[in-house]
């Protein structure tokens, strides 16, 4: 089976609580290779563009405010079945519904401050990776 790439974000709440290392450790222990990473402060324009599909939803302004409230770590992860396996590793968006041992169950504060983002399909992963990384930054 071929290697696949997916996109991940360690969100502001997890960065503020010094969980970058713990989350990266879980990712690597699950067999993922970090192909690219960078820490950055999203601008309002970047956050609005990244979450553009949610622009008409009531939660959009709060989501953007949250995502620009502190630094984030953006990642390209690689392994076989990367998208599906990363989604399983992070758990459901609502941490109260996430399985024990998943990143969101163990580290999320609530539905919005849920520690991490993960692409939901290969097409989203490709689009999200290209949003933050140029090809020469991915190893």
Which residues are annotated as catalytic? 117
Residue 114 assigned ligand-binding role: yes
At CA 99, angle to CA 71 and CA 120, rounded to 5?
55
The structure tokens 């009531």 sit at 58
d(CA 81, CA 2): 8
Quickly tell me which residue has 């401050």 as its tokens: 113
Strands in 1-139 per DSSP E: 3-10, 33-40, 72-80, 116-118
11 has binding-site annotation: yes
**DSSP one-letter string for 91-114:** --SSTTTSPTTSHHHHH--SSSS-
C-alpha 84/C-alpha 78 separation (Å) is 12
Annotated binding site for ATP: 11, 59, 87, 93, 104, 114
Annotated binding site: 11, 59, 87, 93, 104, 114
């Amino acid at each position: 089976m071929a290697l696949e790439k997916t996109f991940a974000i360690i969100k502001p709440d997890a960065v503020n609580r010094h969980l970058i290392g713990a989350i990266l450790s879980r990712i690597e222990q699950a067999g993922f290779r970090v192909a690219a990473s960078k820490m950055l402060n999203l601008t309002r324009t970047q956050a609005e563009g990244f979450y553009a599909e949610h622009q008409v939803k009531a939660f959009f302004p709060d989501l953007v405010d949250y995502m620009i409230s502190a630094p984030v770590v953006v990642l390209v992860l690689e392994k076989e079945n990367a998208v599906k396996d990363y989604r399983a590793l992070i758990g459901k968006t609502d941490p109260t519904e996430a399985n024990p041992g998943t990143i969101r169950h163990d580290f999320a504060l609530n539905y919005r401050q849920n520690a991490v983002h993960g692409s939901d399909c290969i097409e989203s992963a490709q689009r999200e990776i290209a949003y933050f990384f140029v090809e020469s930054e991915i190893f």
